[in-house]
Amino acid sequence: MATTVHEPPQIDRVPDKGHAGNGGRKNLAPSGGDLRVTLDYSPPPSSTGIWVVLFAVTMMFAAFTSALVVRKGSSLDWQSFTLPSILYLNTFLLLLSSVTLEVARRQLAASIAGSRSRAAGPARWLYLTLFLGLLFVAGQYLAWTQLEAQGLYLATNPSSSFFYVLTATHALHVLGGLGGLIYVINKLNKSALRRNTLIAISRYWHFMGALWLYLIVLLWMKL
C-alpha cells in the first residue's frame, strides 16, 4: 500500500487551516485588559460543523418520519409487506464498518501519541471500512431488486413509496460518507490528515449506522 512509504504520518503537524482565529467559545481577554479571563481554546470548525450537519440530517429524517406516520394514518390504502431479509445482513455490515473505523481512529490516535508509528495499520482498517460501506450500498440495491421482483415499486403503495424514499435518502448519505472516507485515506497517504477531519468523518459514519438502526426499526414497525 502506498501509505507504507510515508512514515511516520504527519498528523497535525500542518497548521489547522479551516480555522483562523482562536477566540472560540470561551475567550481569553488580553493580559492588562480588566476583562473576564477565560480559556484560550477554540474547537476546530470541523468538529462543530459536523454536529450542524448531523442536526440537519436528523431534521430531514424527522420530517420523513412524521410524513410516514401522518400518511399511514390518513387513509386505509396502506398495505404492509415484510422487509427483504438482506436488510438485516446490511445492518450487520454497516455496524461492523463502524467498528473497523473506530479501530482505525484509535490506532491513529495512538500513533499521534507516538506509541505507534506505522500508518499502514490504520490505512488497512480504513480500506476495510470503505469496503464494508460499499457492500452495504450494494446490499441495499439488492434489497430494492428483491422488492421489485415481488412487484413492489415506488408507486405501488404508500408503504413501498416510503421504503424506497427512506432507504434511498439514507443510501445517498452513506455514499457521502464513503466520499469522506476516500478523502481521509487520500490525506493519510499524503501524510496530511488532520485529526479533526478524521474525527468529523467518523462521527458522521457512526451517525449513519445509528440512523440506519433507527430506520430499520421504523420500517419494521410501520411497514
Question: Which positions touch other proteins (CB under 8 A)?
Answer: 12, 15-30, 32-36, 38, 40-46, 48-49, 52-53, 55-57, 59-60, 62-64, 66-67, 70-71, 74-78, 154-155, 158, 161, 165, 169
Minimum CB distance to other proteins smaller for 5 or for 34: 34
CA 191/CA 194 separation, integer angstroms: 9
- Least distance CB 219 / other proteins (angstroms): 16
Q: How many helices (H) and strands (E) does the chain have?
A: 5, 0
- Least distance CB 153 / other proteins (angstroms): 9
- Least distance CB 190 / other proteins (angstroms): 17
CA 70/CA 79 separation, integer angstroms: 15
* Residue labelled with grid coordinates 504520518: 9
Q: Are 35 and 135 in contact (CB under 8 A)?
A: no
Minimum CB distance to other proteins smaller for 7 or for 40: 40
- Least distance CB 168 / other proteins (angstroms): 10
- Least distance CB 135 / other proteins (angstroms): 26
3-state helix, strand, coil in the chain (%, to 5): 70, 0, 30
CA 208/CA 173 separation, integer angstroms: 8
Minimum CB distance to other proteins smaller for 43 or for 179: 43
Minimum CB distance to other proteins smaller for 36 or for 221: 36
**Which residue(s) pair with 119 in the sheet?**
none
Residue type, 195: R
Minimum CB distance to other proteins smaller for 5 or for 70: 70
